[in-house]
Amino acid sequence: MKKYLVLLLGVAMLFTVAACGRDDDEEQEHSQGVTDTTIYIGNTAVTSGGAGFVGQPFIAAMEAYLNMINEDGGVFGRDIELVHRDDGFDGDQGEINTWRLIDEDEVFALVGHFGTPTVSTTIDDLNEHGILRVYYGTGTTTVRNANATSATERTSFPVQPLYEVEGELMVKRAIATLGAERIGLFETTNDDVGREIRAGMERAATEHGVELVVYQEVGFDFNTPATALVAADVDVIIVGGNQFMVPGAILALDEAGNEAPVMVSYVAADASVVAQVAAVLDNFDVYANAWVNLFDEHDDFSDEYQLFRDTMATVQDGAYVENNFAVAGWIAAMIFVEGLKRMDPNEAITWENYVNAMESDLFEYGMGSPIDYRDGQRLGTQTLSLLQMRFEDEIPYLELVEPFEHIDDILAD
C-alpha cells in the first residue's frame, strides 16, 4: 500500500483539509490545491516518445480550455492551473507521477488521469485515498462503480465508455450492421484493453449465439495472429487494443490478405490513426466506435464543438483543430470546470462540496450524451455511434455509419 505524505485522518477530514504551502496569508477551509487566487489540478500523461501523438493534443486542449476560462475571470475569482507530468505511457512512472502530484504538488484534483497502465496501477490506492478524480483517459473497467457510496468512492467521475461494454456492443453491431456469424478477435496484450474487450465480446457472443475466434498478439508480433485470423475465414475482425496497437494490427491484416471488415475501439477513432492505415482502406472497410457527438440536431457543429475549433485554431497553428484526442482533453477540462461552477460560491471549495455538485443533477456538457452521476452511478458515457475510416484527396476522416445509440438499446434483442 502506498505510504502517503499527506495522511487523511478519517472521513470527516477527508473532504476538508486546509490549503497550505501556497503562500496563503489566511488559512481557509478548502481542500488541498486551493488558494485565494488559484485552483491547482494535475495529471500524468504521455507527451513524449512514440505514444506522444495522443497525449500532446490532449494536454494542449486542456490548457487551451483553462486559458479561455482564466481569461474570462476564472471560477469564483480563481484561475485554474494544470500541473502536468509526462510518464511516457509507463504505468510505473505514472504511479510515481501520480503521488508526486498529490503529495508534492498538492493538486485539488486529478483531471484527465491518463492511460490504462497508469490508471490500472493506481486506481485501488486512489479509491482508498479519496482525492478527487474527474475524467480518466481510458475506458478500463477498473473505474466502473454502479453504486459509489463511500466518501472515497464518490470522488471518482469516469466519462469515457468502458472497454468491456464496448466489446459487447461491437459484437452486437457486427451482427446487426455487418451480418456476422463468425467473429474474429485480434487481441493485443500490451495492456488490459484487449483483455477487457475480449471479456465483453465473450459474453455477447454467448448471448447472441455467434462463434468467436480469438488470436493474440504477443511481443508485438502482429503477423502471426493476422495470418491465423485471415485463414479462419471469419466474417468480421475486431481489434481489441488501444490506439497505439491498432495501426500495426490493421497493416498486418492487410499484409496477410484480409478482405473482411474490421472494427476497432473508440480510442482509435481519430484522423491521425486513419492516416496511418490509409493505404489499406481500399482493400477492406475499417470501422470505429465514437462517444463524442460533434453535431447538433440540424447536423451543424454544436456550439461547444465550434468553440473548441475556434479556440484550437489559435493553438500551435491549428494543428489540433481536427484531432479527437484534443477533443477529449477539452472535454476533460470542461467537465471539471462545469462541476466547479455548480458549486455554491459561498461554500468552501472542498472535495465533498464538489462531489455533491456533480451528483446534484444529470450532467450535460454539449459534446456527448448526458452522464448520470446521481445515486452513486460511476458508469461513464453510455451512448456511442459507429464511424467508418475514409481517406480521400489525401484527407483522413471518419464518416457516420450508425447514429448514436444507448448501449442498452444496441445490445437489446
Percent of the chain with pLDDT over 90: 83
pTM exceeding 0.95: no
Q: What is the DSSP string of 345-361?
A: TTS---HHHHHHHHTSS
Task: Please report which confidence band the pLDDT of residue 413 belongs to, taking 50, 70 and 90 as the band edges.
Answer: low
Percent of the chain with pLDDT over 70: 93
How far apart (Å, rounded) are the C-alpha atoms in residues 352 and 250?
Answer: 46
Residue 5 lies in a domain: no
Instruction: Name the average pLDDT for the chain.
Output: 91
How far apart (Å, rounded) are the C-alpha atoms in residues 163 and 161?
Answer: 7
Same domain, 234 and 248: yes
Same domain, 16 and 141: yes
Task: Please report which confidence band the pLDDT of residue 192 belongs to, taking 50, 70 and 90 as the band edges.
Answer: confident
Mean pLDDT value of segment 360-378:
91
Same domain, 257 and 388: yes
Residue 7 has pLDDT above 80, yes or no: no
Residue 156 has pLDDT above 60, yes or no: yes
Residue 83 has pLDDT above 50, yes or no: yes
Domain of residue 216: give its range. Answer: 163-290+384-411
Same domain, 104 and 246: no
CA distances from 395 to 55, 261, 300, 389, 412 (A): 22, 21, 20, 11, 36
Residue 135 has pLDDT above 80, yes or no: yes
* H or E element in which residue 197 lies: helix 192-208
Same domain, 260 and 360: no
Same domain, 321 and 221: no
Q: What is the DSSP string of 291-305?
A: -B--B-TTSSBPHHH
Residue 2 has pLDDT above 90, yes or no: no
Which residue type does 69 have?
A: I
Same domain, 28 and 73: yes
Residue 315 lies in a domain: yes
Residue 3 lies in a domain: no
Residue 326 lies in a domain: yes
Same domain, 226 and 237: yes
Residue 87 lies in a domain: yes
Residue 267 lies in a domain: yes
Predicted local distance difference test score (pLDDT) of residue 151: 94
Task: Please report which confidence band the pLDDT of residue 22 belongs to, taking 50, 70 and 90 as the band edges.
Answer: very low
CATH of the domain at 179: 3.40.50.2300
Same domain, 52 and 156: yes
Same domain, 260 and 394: yes
Residue 365 has pLDDT above 50, yes or no: yes
CA distances from 394 to 71, 271, 391, 397, 398 (A): 37, 11, 6, 10, 13
Domain count, the chain: 2
Same domain, 286 and 359: no
Predicted local distance difference test score (pLDDT) of residue 406: 86
Q: 237 is written with which cell numbers? A: 475482425
Predicted local distance difference test score (pLDDT) of residue 297: 84
* H or E element in which residue 198 lies: helix 192-208
Predicted local distance difference test score (pLDDT) of residue 411: 66
Same domain, 19 and 73: yes
Task: Please report which confidence band the pLDDT of residue 407 belongs to, taking 50, 70 and 90 as the band edges.
Answer: confident
Residue 328 lies in a domain: yes
Q: Report yes or no: 249 and 222 within 8 Å, Cβ to Cβ.
A: yes
Residue 4 lies in a domain: no
